[in-house]
Amino acid sequence: MFVLGIESSCDETAAAVVSNGKLLSNVIASQIKDHSAYGGVVPEIASRKHIEAVSAVINQAMADAGLTLKEIEGVAVTRGPGLIGSLLVGLSAAKALAYGLNIPLVGVNHLEGHIMASFLAEKKPGFPFVALVVSGGHTNVYLVKNYHKFQLLGQTRDDAAGEAFDKAAKLLDLGYPGGVVIDKMANAGNPKAFAFPRAMKDSPDFSFSGLKTSLLTMFKKCNGRISSEELPDIVASYQEAIIDVLVDKTLKAALENNIKQIVVCGGVAANSRLRERFATATAANNVELFIPPMILCTDNAAMIAALGEIMLKNGRSDSLDLNAVSRWPLVSVSAAGEKRG
Q: 117-172: per-residue pLDDT in tens?
A: 999 999 999 999 999 999 988 999 999 999 889 999 999 999 999 999 999 999 99
Give me the torsion for CA of 16, 20, 21, 23, rounded to 10°. Answer: -40
Share of the chain above pLDDT 70, in %: 97
Q: State residue 334's pLDDT score.
A: 34
Angle at 73 between CA 71 and CA 76, to 5 degrees: 125
Asked whether the predicted pLDDT for residue 338 surpasses 60, the reply is no
CA nearest to 337, candidates 317, 313, 307, 309: 317
Task: Let me know if 101 is exposed, middle or buried by CB neighbors in 10 A (0-12, 13-18, 19+).
Answer: middle
pLDDT classification of 215: cutoffs 50, 70, 90: very high
Q: State residue 341's pLDDT score.
A: 40
Please state which CATH class domain 2-115+297-313 belongs to: alpha beta
Q: State residue 82's pLDDT score.
A: 96
Q: State residue 148's pLDDT score.
A: 85
Task: Tell me the average pLDDT across 181-191.
Answer: 97
123-291 and 2-115+297-313 share a CATH fold: yes
pLDDT classification of 332: cutoffs 50, 70, 90: low
CA atoms within 13 A on the CB side of 223: 0
The answer to whether the CB of 164 falls within 8 A of the CB of 157 is no
Task: Let me know if 43 is exposed, middle or buried by CB neighbors in 10 A (0-12, 13-18, 19+).
Answer: middle
**How distant, in Å, are the alpha carbons of 17, 58, 108, 113, 241 from that of 301?**
8, 10, 10, 9, 31
Residue 276 neighbours by CB distance under 10 Å: 11
The amino acid sitting at 183 is D
Residue ranges of the domains in the chain? 2-115+297-313, 123-291
Share of the chain above pLDDT 90, in %: 90
Tell whether pTM > 0.75: yes
Q: How far apart are CA 159 and CA 179, in angstroms?
A: 14
Of 24-33, 73-82, 215-224, 303-312, the poorest mean pLDDT is in 215-224
pLDDT classification of 225: cutoffs 50, 70, 90: confident
The answer to whether the CB of 325 falls within 8 A of the CB of 341 is no
As a CATH number, domain 123-291 is 3.30.420.40
Angle at 25 between CA 82 and CA 124, to 5 degrees: 75
Q: How far apart are CA 26 and CA 30, in angstroms?
A: 13
CA nearest to 163, candidates 174, 176, 179, 185: 179
Task: Let me know if 329 is exposed, middle or buried by CB neighbors in 10 A (0-12, 13-18, 19+).
Answer: middle
pLDDT digits (tens, 9 = 90+) for 67-122: 999 999 999 999 999 999 999 999 999 999 999 999 999 999 999 999 999 999 99
Q: State residue 335's pLDDT score.
A: 35
Task: Let me know if 71 is exposed, middle or buried by CB neighbors in 10 A (0-12, 13-18, 19+).
Answer: middle
pLDDT digits (tens, 9 = 90+) for 270-288: 999 999 999 999 999 999 9
